[in-house]
Structure 1
Amino acid sequence: MNKMMRLVMWLGVLLSCAAAGATDYTLWINGRGSGGVVGNYDDFSYWGPARFNAGVNKKAVNWDGYNSIASQNGIIRNALDCFCTGTNWCFIATYSAGDPMMGYALANYGGSTRHVKNATPNAAGVCASVGSTTQTGWNIRWVRAAAGAAGGSELSDAGRWTTGEPLVHDMRTTTMRAMYNHNNTRGLKFYMYAGAKGTLYSGILPGQDDEVIAYHSSGAVSGTDGGAYCNPRDWWCNDLRMHEEVNEGGWPKWTNHDVWYRDDAEYFNHYLRGNWEGITAPMRADMEAYAK
C-alpha cells in the first residue's frame, strides 16, 4: 500500500470518528418566574414532567426568571457553549422572556469567538474547553419561541407586575424593543407560536393575546412599540399574517421571524401549569417532531 492510499484511509478514519462524536441537543430556555435549578440541565420542573418527549437529548437551560436579561444572559451563553460548539449542534425552544434571552445572546454575542466545550457540565452548568480550539458563534439549527416576549408586555407598562423585579423593567414594550437588534439573528430562523386565549387583561393588551403577551410580541411584529393584531376573523384590528408575510396594515415582522403557529381557534393561553400546557403545548409537539 503506497503512502497516498494510507493517507486517504487515515483521513477516512478521522472523518468517521468526528461524525460519530457529533451530537444534537435540544435546549429549553424558560421565561419569567422561578423553576428549575440553575446549572442543572436535567431539571425540567419549570416546564412539567421530564418524561415528556421534548426533542433529542433535551436540556433545561434554567435561569432565575427574575433578574434582568443582561445579568442572566451569561447562563444562556454557558449552555450554548456547552452543547452547541465543536461537532455538536442545537435545536432551541424558548418561552416568553426566554425569547429575548436568546435574541439578546445572538445579536450581541453570536458573532463572538467561543471556546469549543466538552458537553460535560459541572454543577454550575459550565463545561470545560477542548484544548484551545475556538469557533465563531454557535452551531444552531433553528429557534422556536412560544409566547415570545421580545416585543415586551403592556402588563409591565401598566404596573400589573411587581415593579421592583428587574425583569419587569426589561419587559416594558419600548425597553424590550430597544434592548438589542431584533433583526440580527445571525441568519437563524425564529419560528413563533402566538396564543390567543386571552380574557383577563383584554383591556390592557392590544389585539389578540394569551393573557400575558399580545400578538404584536408573540408574532414578532417589528417596530419601536406594540400594536393591535388579531386573527383573520376578527374585523376590529389588523391581521397577524402567517410566516414571514407582511402583516395587514403594512407592518413587517423582524428579519428571519416566521409566525409558524397562530392560535386561530383561541384555544391556548400563556400558562404552563407545570404540565407543558398553554401555547407551549403545540411548540413541544413540534420539537418532538422536528428536533431529532
Structure 2
Amino acid sequence: MHIRTAVLAATATAALLVAPEASATNYTLWIHGKNGGGTQRGNYADFSNWGPSTVAAGVNKKAVNWDGRQRISVENFRVRDALDCFCTGSNWCYIAVHSAGDLQIGYTLSLYGGSTRYKKNAVPSSTGVCGNTDGTTQVGWNIKWVDVASGAGGGSELADNGEWATSDAIVGDLVTSTARAMFNHNTTRSVWFYMFAGAKGTAYSGILSGQDDEAVAYHSTGGVSVKGGFCNPGDWFCDGTLNTGTAATSNGKAKWSYHTVQFRDDGENHDHYQNGNWENIVGVVRADVATYAY
C-alpha cells in the first residue's frame, strides 16, 4: 500500500473508534517561505503569496502568513496559532509548505508537538488567534500529513555564500549547518513529510550542491539527513542519486525519519518560484493537495 494511502486509511480507522462530533472539520494550511510578499500576517484568507485564492488547493484552505524576513523562532508563534485554531479538538489539518515553511513546520512539531494545547473554535481574531472551546486540552495537533514544495529544512548554500540579503534575519537560519542543527528533524510526531524536489536550476548551479531548483538543492528538498551533492538517476559528478520514497540515496545517505520523496523532478522542469500564480514546484504540490486534501 502506498504510504499516503496507508496514512489516510489509518486516520479513517481511528475516526471510527471515537464518538463522532457534528462540528468536525478538515482544513488545509499553507505555510510560505522566505520573504512572504505583502501578505497580511494573521489573515488566513490572504493567499497573495501563492496565487489566486479561487484556485483549488485543498479543503477549507487557509494561508498561514508570517514575516518571511524574520528568524524561524521569532515568527513561529504564528504557525502555532494557526495549528491551535484549525487542528485541535475534533478538527484535522493537512499542511502544505514551501521552502523555509519546511523549517517552520519542522521546528513546530519537533519543539512543540508534544506540548499541551487548548482546543480552539476555529474562529480567528484579526491577529489570527482563536478562542477556546470548552477549556479542555490535548497534546500537540491533529495533522494528517505535510506536503513540502522544495523544502529548505536542510538549508541552502545561497545562505552559506551570502547570495541573499544578509539584512534579512531568516538568512542566518538558512545557513546549511544552522538549519540542520536548529531542531531534531527526525522528530515529526509520526507525521509524514512528502517531499517534492524541483530540479530546474540554472543561475546558481556552481554554488548549490548536486541537483537544485535555483534556490535549494536536493539534499534539503529530498529530506536527506546529511548535506551532499545528490542528483537524478544517470547524472554525472554527483555524490549519489536521490531515490524516491523513503530509501537512502544511492551512496547510502539516509533520509530523516518520516520523510519520503513523493516527487523527484527527473525532467528538470520545475524551479523554486511560484511567481504569485501557483507555478513550478508549488504547482505540483498544489495539484497533489487538491487531490488528497479533502
**TM-score computed with the length of structure 1 as normaliser:** 0.93
- What is the DSSP-based 3-state SS (H/G/I as helix, E as strand, rest coil) of the residue aligned with 1:25? strand
- Where does the alignment leave 5 or more consecutive residues of structure 1 unmatched? 1-13
Task: Measure the CA separation in 2 of the matches of 1:174 and 1:158.
Answer: 12
Q: Of 259, 262, 268, which aligns to 2:261?
A: 259
Structure-2 residue corresponding to 1:76:
79
Match of 1:86 in 2: 89
SS at match of 2:260: strand
Deviation at 1:281, TM superposition (A): 0.8
Match of 2:132 among 126, 129, 136: 129
Q: Distance in 1 between matches of 2:75 and 2:46?
A: 18
Aligned AA (1:101): Q
1:283 matches 2:278: no
Distance 2:175 2:121 in 1: 38
Q: What is the correspondence of 1:180-199 to structure 2 with a 5 Å cutoff?
A: 180-199=183-202
- C-alpha distance after superposition, 1:170-225 (max 9, x if no partner): 000000000000000000100000000000000000100000000000001103xx
Report whether the alignment pairs 1:222 with 2:225: yes
Q: Which of 100, 108, 123 is equivalent to 1:105?
A: 108
CA distance in 2, matches of 1:34, 1:58: 17
Distance 2:236 2:169 in 1: 37
1:44 alignment partner in structure 2: 47
| Matches of 2:44 and 2:141, distance apart in 1 | 18
Distance 1:211 1:246 in 2: 24
Q: Percent identity?
A: 56
Q: Distance in 2 between matches of 1:163 and 1:282?
A: 30
Q: Which residue of 2 aligns with 1:4?
A: none
Alignment match, 1:235 = 236
1:165 — aligned with what?
Answer: 168
What's the CA shift for 1:15?
4.3
C-alpha separation between the residues in 1 aligned to 2:166 and 2:251? 34
CA distance in 2, matches of 1:230, 1:15: 48
SS in 1 for 2:124: coil
Structure whose CA Rg is larger: 1
Count of matched residue pairs: 275
Supply the distance in 2 between the matched residues of 1:249 and 1:49 (Cα, whole angstroms). Answer: 42
1:115 aligned residue: 118
**How many angstroms apart in 2 are the aligned matches of 1:97 and 1:34?**
10
Match of 2:5 in 1: none
Q: CA deviation at 1:58?
A: 0.2
1:6 counterpart residue number: none
Q: 1:15 to 1:248 in 2, by over 3 A?
A: closer
C-alpha displacement of 1:230: 0.2
Larger displacement relative to structure 2 (231-240 or 114-123): 231-240
Q: Which amino acid aligns with 2:237?
A: W
Distance 1:94 1:233 in 2: 29
